[in-house]
Amino acid sequence: MLAEPRTWQLDVAAVQDLTPRMRRVQLTSPDLDRFDYLAGQDMALTFRRGDAPPVRRRYTIRHFHPDQRRLDLDFVLHGDGPGMRWAQAARPGESIEVVGPRGKITLVREAAWHLFAGDATAVPGALAMLEALPGDVPAVAFLQVDGPEERQAVAGDRAQQITWHFEVPAPNPDTGLAAVLAGALLPPGRAHAYLAGEVALVTALKATLLSRGWSPEDLSAKAYWNRGRANAGHGEPELKAS
């Protein structure tokens, strides 16, 4: 059962660069002893800048450490959005208003196996859900990042189940992530797929799986951003699988 989202005032505990383009911000509060969530859920951060109205952006929870009352949120350093600007400038001791946990895309436990696919913005959620799976449940992941330096470690034996695809400056539909997914050898049995990232990529990934005979009800798809357009809302719409 999903916990009801609530408002938290969290403090920055530490900032760490995981890769050249992925920064982790660790947030803490004594109140997090009452925090409960499911892998795949996110937090909506409230960003304030001068006299401008506050804006919210949502980031998937990468880790929760109950013993330390700490959340880890990972930020892709690209573009010029409020989340990236905040992550670049964040320093220990600063505070931020956060609402969550939110989001309905979590692990479908009834699935025989699980598939994760998306770009760099999908990596935190994909790795969080991969690590939350029981060790005997099969899974595969297809993750598109800028280059080898953007690969990340994952707990347990899941690393061998991840295919890292390196994006080229001018993506070719014949060699992109959707093409990789189209030609991939997948496990047998009824699975559930979790697709996330840039809207055109998510649409292509969804179409690829549908063309392979997947049922729409076995797909969870979410667009995090739209190339060339600013995110004007407080979150991103889910994409229907049909």
- Listed by start position, the domains of the chain span 6-102, 113-239
**What counts of helices (H) and strands (E) characterise the chain?**
4, 12
Q: What pLDDT tens digit does each residue of the chain (242 aa) get?
A: 667 899 999 999 999 999 999 999 999 999 999 999 999 999 999 999 888 899 999 999 999 999 999 999 999 998 788 999 999 999 999 999 999 999 989 999 999 999 999 999 999 999 999 999 999 999 999 999 999 999 999 988 899 999 999 986 555 556 699 999 999 999 999 999 999 999 999 999 999 999 999 999 999 999 999 976 655 443 443 344 43
Can you tell me the distance from the alpha carbon of 35 to that of 155, in angstroms, rounded to the nearest whole number? 22
Sheet with 238-239: strands ordered across: 162-166, 139-145, 113-118, 191-198, 219-225, 238-239
Which residue reads 């913005």 in tokens? 121
Q: What is the pTM of this model?
A: 0.91
Q: Which helix (H) or strand (E) holds 198?
A: strand 191-198
Q: CA 189, CA 26: separation in Å to the nearest integer? A: 38
CATH code of domain 6-102: 2.40.30.10
DSSP 133-197: S-TTS-EEEEEEESSGGG----STTGGGGEEEEEPPSS--TTTSHHHHHHH----SS-EEEEEEE
Phi first, then psi, for residue 25 (nearest 5°) are -115, 125
Q: Which fold has domain 113-239?
A: Rossmann fold (3.40.50)
Burial of 229 (0-12, 13-18, 19+ CB in 10 A): exposed
Residue 239 is predicted with a pLDDT of 42
Q: Is 79 left (phi over 0), alpha (psi -120 to 50) or beta?
A: left
- Half-sphere exposure of residue 60, counting CA atoms within 13 Å on the CB side? 24
Name the DSSP letter for residue 1: -
- What's the burial of 28, exposed, middle or buried (CB within 10 Å: 0-12/13-18/19+)? middle
